[in-house]
Amino acid sequence: MSIGAIPTVAPYLLPPLLRQFAKRFPYSEVAVHEDLTEHTVKGCLEGDLDVGVVALPIGADLLHVEPLFREELMLAMPPGHHFTRKRRITMEDVGAEPFILLDEIHCLGEQIISFCTQNDCHPLVQCRSAQLLTVQELVALGQGVSLIPAMACDVDRGKRCKYRSFAGNKPTRTLAMIWHKLRYRGPLVLQFVEALRCHCQPRR
């Protein structure tokens, strides 16, 4: 069975799910392909992937798209940042802050810029990185602030960054699983799909 997931989801959502799945099906073999949205969609369309986990929107008529849950994007800032002392933080507040963002090839980087623009916030991009972990590390070192998916905040064991929710209109993304509408899905794939639904249920 081949599962695809975008890099801003795979390391945070899949490991505990795969551990539970392996206990239930100890002789199953699961291959995880961590790649960009474009390649994950292509893999599902061409039959190389049985299931993909991506962020909406997705436009492909031949794909079944099932939303899983909506995830908040948190403001990440270095320890000691003056925002940590504010009771309310708005998008307007962060407009003058240097931003550390993912490369534009990642859908999350584009979504963050889009959300900021819609809320009259035009971030000063200090640096871009291909890895979310690098973004968090740069924020922790005081190079700027960023918007980080709640899942990535939860696994920041060292809490090197400080994370806060925005007041008012909160930035979010919606995660979904996708598969080809017309391709056969075997019993193991169906079991995985159901396990993924159950795993995501508490986040809805």
CATH number at residue 116: 3.40.190.10
Count of structural domains within the chain = 2
| DSSP state at residue 165 | P
Same domain, 90 and 139: yes
Q: Is 120 exposed, middle or buried (0-12, 13-18, 19+ CB in 10 A)?
A: exposed
| pLDDT of the residue at 95 | 84
Q: Can you give the residue range of the structural domain that contains 132? A: 71-172
pLDDT attached to residue 109: 86
Q: pTM above the 0.75 mark? A: yes
Residue-level pLDDT at 19: 96
Contact 3, 49 (CB under 8 A): yes
Same-domain status, 77 and 57 = no
pLDDT tens per residue, range 120-159: 888 888 899 989 999 999 999 999 999 999 999 988 877 8
Query: Which ranges of the chain have pLDDT less than 50?
Result: none
Q: Strands 2-5 and 51-55: what pairing?
A: parallel
* Distance of alpha carbon 35 from alpha carbon 54, whole angstroms: 10
Rounded-to-integer distance, Cα 150 and Cα 160, Å: 15
CB count within 10 Å of CB 173 equals 21
Tell me which amino acid residue 15 is: P
Same domain, 102 and 162: yes
Q: Residue 39 has what pLDDT?
A: 96
Cβ partners under 8 Å of residue 191, min gap 6: 21, 24, 25
Residues 178 and 166 in one domain: no
For residue 47, the model assigns a pLDDT of: 94
Could you tell me if 80 and 156 lie in one domain? yes
Residue 80 shares a structural domain with residue 147: yes
